[in-house]
Chains A and B, each alone.
Chain A
Amino acid sequence: MRGAYLAGIAALSAVAVAAAAGIVYGEATDRWYLGGSLVGVLLIAYAGIVLLLRKAGLIGPRKAER
């Protein structure tokens, strides 16, 4: 199960890197809506990474809730 989570983290990281490249491209070519959508994709990918890290046990509950 842990392997599946780590694979998911790797996949989402790749998506995030691609999105970051796309943001730079969007800024360079003045395609603001493309850049903006990819900012959204990047943040959602980060959210997925945090969730998978939690499910894989690599990060724990918040300090107030430990």
Chain B
Amino acid sequence: MSEPEVRPSRYGRVMTALLRATLRVDVAINRIVPSDYNPLYYTGGLANLFLLVLVLSGIFLFFYYEASLEGAFASVRYLTQTVPYGGLLRGVHRYAADAFLVAILLHLFRNWFTDRYLFSRDNPWISGMILLLFAGLIGFTGYQLVWDERGQVLTALFVRILRSLPGVGPAVADLFLGGPGVSDGTLVRVLFLHIGPASALYLLLWWHYLRLRHPKIWPPAAWVLFCVGLVFLLAGLIPVGAEAIPPAAPAARPTRFALDVFFLWPFWLLNWLPPAGVAVLGAVVFTAGLAIPYLGRRESPQALGVRHAGVAQVIDGNCTGCELCYYDCPYNAIIMVPSPRPGLTKAAANRTLLAVVVESRCVECGICIGACPFEALELPALLERDVLAQVAEAVRA
């Protein structure tokens, strides 16, 4: 087979360079740790681990939080200073949130650069982008809940961004605030916007895992220990309450404070952009992210060669209903149905089940072809007889 002469696009060349760089990082890491301990092979699992830490520490924090203008900061201060290990768990919650977003971004960039969104893998990509959006929203509302001066300013800036939305702006802002201005109801809504989407994350994760058999949702034990330990160490060494931001007050005029770059970057951009500009930028970035599986193609179909051999086809006459392809398909793209009629070969004549390929889930990998002992599956552009012809040619003296 000759190499296709098509020259890749500039986007293709950039993405190929990023692919090679990503895999070079793997080579470096695999020199230090065994490859089944490489954290980059478990980026999704790392995110899931930090999410669990967040949920558990969050439940603890929730027990002490009071969602009212007067009581919010006082309850947080009580938790931090009086409750044993309260301040520590608050720190665990905050640092795990940053680690959560770092893990999500590693997961996003790795799966983007290594072409793991092709064909029917666009589905986990879309659900993943929505997960990222929810995670960002949850992190932002977390900073509001403290109701210190930073939370107060963030709320005011967020309302300004909401108001800049065309048409629905003021209505959405009032819905968020629970009225024309900040009130106790606002914090109740913010608390809901923090915990509701956090629970919804698990529902979105169900969607995210849906087409994958054996998703890697948990990292190896060594990394579980390391990540939880790191979060506790940071929480102990850099206590959260040490920022000493005063509580929110109606007359407060805060001017500058530290920003968590992972969750609060839209507000940092407000230093330079108008609120509508930040909204537009966010929408553009999110839409571009959603478009990656559809518009981004590192390699042309010709360059993909055997990797784009067509969705698997069941050869009805040969299928015996043995289910080996069903068990091996990594994407749950093969289902077994009651056989409507007997097969043609002797082995298939008495079958009760028939394999059916769900073409919308097939990524053209061919693992089912390797699994089938009865030659009942084929890739249209790489038939068994093509492979055997290559074998015969390879062995010819």
Contacts and interface: CB of A to CB of B under 8 A. Distances in A.
Contact of B233 (A37, A54, A61, A64): A37
Interface in B307-357: none
Interface of B: 33-34, 36-37, 84-88, 91-92, 214, 220-223, 225-226, 228-237, 239
Interface string A15-37: 00000000000000010111111
A42 interface: yes
Shortest beta-carbon contacts, A-B, top 7: A43-B229, A40-B233, A37-B236, A40-B232, A36-B236, A47-B226, A36-B88
Given A43-B225, A54-B222, 11 more contacts: A32-B84, A32-B87, A32-B88, A33-B235, A35-B88, A36-B235, A37-B232, A37-B237, A40-B236, A43-B226, A50-B222
Interface of A: 30, 32-47, 50-51, 54-55, 61-62, 64-65
Contacts of A34: 236
Name the residue among B86, B214, B221, B223 with the largest chain A CB count within 10 angstroms. Answer: B221
Contacts of A51: 33, 37, 222
B223 A47 contact: yes
B34 A47 contact: no
B236 A42 contact: no
12 contacts: A30-B84, A33-B237, A37-B236, A39-B232, A40-B231, A41-B233, A43-B225, A43-B226, A43-B229, A46-B225, A62-B36, A62-B220
Nearest to A55: B34
Name the residue among A40, A41, A51, A65 with the largest chain B CB count within 10 angstroms. Answer: A40
Given A54-B37, A61-B36, A44 B87 contact: no
B108 to A, nearest CB: 24
Contact of A43 (B85, B88, B220, B232): B232
